[in-house]
Amino acid sequence: MALEVTRRGRGSAAHRAGALALAATALAAAGGVRAAELALGERRVLVQSRSGHEIMVSPPALALAPDGTPLLAWIRFDAEGRHVYLQRAGKSGGAPVRVDPAGLEVDAIHQAPGLATGPQGEVYVSWSSKQPAPPGTLFVSDLQLSRSLDGGRSFEAPLRVNEERAVAHSFEGIAASGDGGVAVAWIDSREGWAHPGTYVARVVERGSRVAQRAAIGSDTCPCCRVAAAAGPGAALALAWRQTFPGNVRDFVFAESRDGGRSFAGPRRVAVDGWSLDACPHRGGGLALDASGRAWLAWYSEGDDATPRLRLAWAEPGAPFGAPRALHEDPRSLPDHVALAVAGDGRGLVAFEAATAVRSAVVLRLVDGAGGEIGPPLLPAQSVVAKSPALAAGRDGFTAAWIEEEFPEVRFVVQELRVSSGSRGGGRPRRGRSPRTSGCPARRRRGAPSA
């Protein structure tokens, strides 16, 4: 595993056209003339393998240290087993640091670890450890919170967040509030998988003690990851998918103005009418802007089985407005949506747009809550690019994703700047052209992320 700063060449015209076609399907729903646009900054590559299929990696989690250094966390499965890593992916580089200690087995790699940074530079990483399952029990895990007080260069022994119960505690979201607390929310199977619940813990004293735990939702969709976000002051928010009568799988939202000591809600975000007799295994992207306004992006198939991504906003304490379309086209499948909001109120949405062979990472800039949704930008340099993550900084955004270009598997960390100026036409834009993977049919590794 190594950090490299790379600038790769142009791919073939066919691959360039294919990637742009994926993005063009996203443009029909919204686009047009923009007063600001994204510009690509430095690209950093963290190579995981150059010899094919002997490893698997989870989707990445991304956060920024107080000095703006990107922090990347992931789970890796190789001959040594499953382990959680964090790497400082700044200009000075740095080796990956193992987060999980000896004696605890990491449960799975189907989702990224949780990752958040505290107001004093603390780095928090959440992950589930596998536990023995009693007869007749499918999954048993403990939810662990690991902390670093030196910027992610080392990690202490983890804190078990949940109570001691032989049930599953996973699909978590974490957020560090401005008052120093950490909210950790998860899906809990203590009432059985027919009626799982959403629980939240408030962790205090720089991630060293659980101050309280509470149930905040019932009939939770069992594998759709909880999203968590921190806002100004002690503002926190959670969003998850709930199962309504008729097996309708719609998102709900809960918010706290006291650092997670209490939550208002949950309340339904939108009535999508998506009925499914199974868990879709698809969480949402959530952020709070500087005014405390909530942004939520999510996947749905509505009542007509059309894959789509939606985006909606809510003022503090108010219902969400009517959702806007981010991607709604039967020619490609949108997936793995991520969301971040910068201090100036602009938001960035990232997602996959995939066919059976290609997958492109798509970025769309949003000019503030309810504002124009910009044309797609395709920053990746491989035919297979997937599982994006986002973080907002002082001067722009940072994105991360997985690229596969057989036999290489790599994480990419891409700096993004918001530049002013007007452009028209609404055509999809690209960074450098995607390159062929050499083995594009082998694009899926492991289970889909939540």
Q: What is the pLDDT of residues 304-337, one digit of tens each?
A: 989 999 999 999 999 999 999 999 877 789 999 9
Looking at residues 105-121, what average pLDDT do you find? 94
Residue 366's identity, in one-letter code, is V
Residue 312 lies in a domain: yes
Residue 200's identity, in one-letter code, is V
Please name which of 371, 234, 238, 249 lies closest in space to residue 301, comparing C-alpha atoms.
249
Residue 116 lies in a domain: no
Would you state the structure tokens that stand for residue 290, as one six-digit string? 């500087």
**Stronger pLDDT, 1 or 159, i.e. the higher one:** 159
Residue 290 lies in a domain: yes
Instruction: Report in angstroms the alpha-carbon separations of 372 from 104, 264, 265, 301, 308.
Output: 47, 30, 29, 23, 18
104: which residues sit within 8 A by CB, 6+ positions away? 129, 144, 158
- Point out the least confidently predicted range of 85-89, 160-164, 446-450: 446-450
Residue 358 lies in a domain: yes
Residue 196 lies in a domain: no
pLDDT of residue 340 exceeding 60, the answer is yes
Q: What pLDDT score does 331 carry?
A: 78
Burial class of residue 5 (count of CB atoms within 10 Å of its CB; 0-12, 13-18, 19+): exposed
- Point out the least confidently predicted range of 228-232, 275-279, 443-447: 443-447
Q: How confident is the model at residue 3 (pLDDT cuts 50, 70, 90)?
A: low
Residues in the chain: 450
Instruction: Report in angstroms the alpha-carbon separations of 367 from 37, 57, 400, 419.
Output: 10, 34, 21, 12
Q: What pLDDT score does 448 carry?
A: 32
Percent of the chain past pLDDT 70, that is, above it, reads: 86
Task: State the Cα–Cα distance between residues 300 and 287, nearest whole angstrom.
Answer: 19
Residue 79 lies in a domain: yes
Residue 352 lies in a domain: yes
Task: State the Cα–Cα distance between residues 43 and 60, nearest whole angstrom.
Answer: 16
Residue 231 lies in a domain: yes
Q: What pLDDT score does 264 carry?
A: 95
- Point out the least confidently predicted range of 43-57, 62-76, 345-359: 43-57
Q: How confident is the model at residue 195 (pLDDT cuts 50, 70, 90)?
A: confident
Q: What pLDDT score does 166 carry?
A: 85
Q: Bin 207: left if φ > 0, else alpha if -120 < ψ < 50, else beta.
A: left
Q: How confident is the model at residue 432 (pLDDT cuts 50, 70, 90)?
A: very low
Give, as one character, the DSSP assignment of residue 381: -
Buried b or exposed e, range 11-34, using 16+ CB within 10 angstroms: beeebbebbbbbbbbbbebbbeeb
pLDDT of residue 217 exceeding 80, the answer is yes
Q: How confident is the model at residue 394 (pLDDT cuts 50, 70, 90)?
A: confident
Looking at residues 164-182, what average pLDDT do you find? 92
Q: How confident is the model at residue 447 (pLDDT cuts 50, 70, 90)?
A: very low
pLDDT of residue 446 exceeding 80, the answer is no
Would you state the structure tokens that stand for residue 173, as one six-digit string? 């979201």
pLDDT of residue 393 exceeding 70, the answer is yes
What residue numbers bound the domain in which 413 lies? 2-108+221-440
- Point out the least confidently predicted range of 45-54, 264-273, 294-303: 45-54
- Point out the least confidently predicted range of 27-36, 223-232, 304-313, 353-362: 27-36
Instruction: Count structural domains, the chain.
Output: 1
pLDDT of residue 2 exceeding 70, the answer is no
pLDDT of residue 427 exceeding 80, the answer is no
101: which residues sit within 8 A by CB, 6+ positions away? 157, 158
pTM of the model: 0.89
Residue 326's identity, in one-letter code, is L
User: Per-residue pLDDT tens for 81-91?
Assistant: 999 999 999 98
CATH number at 385 reads 2.115.10
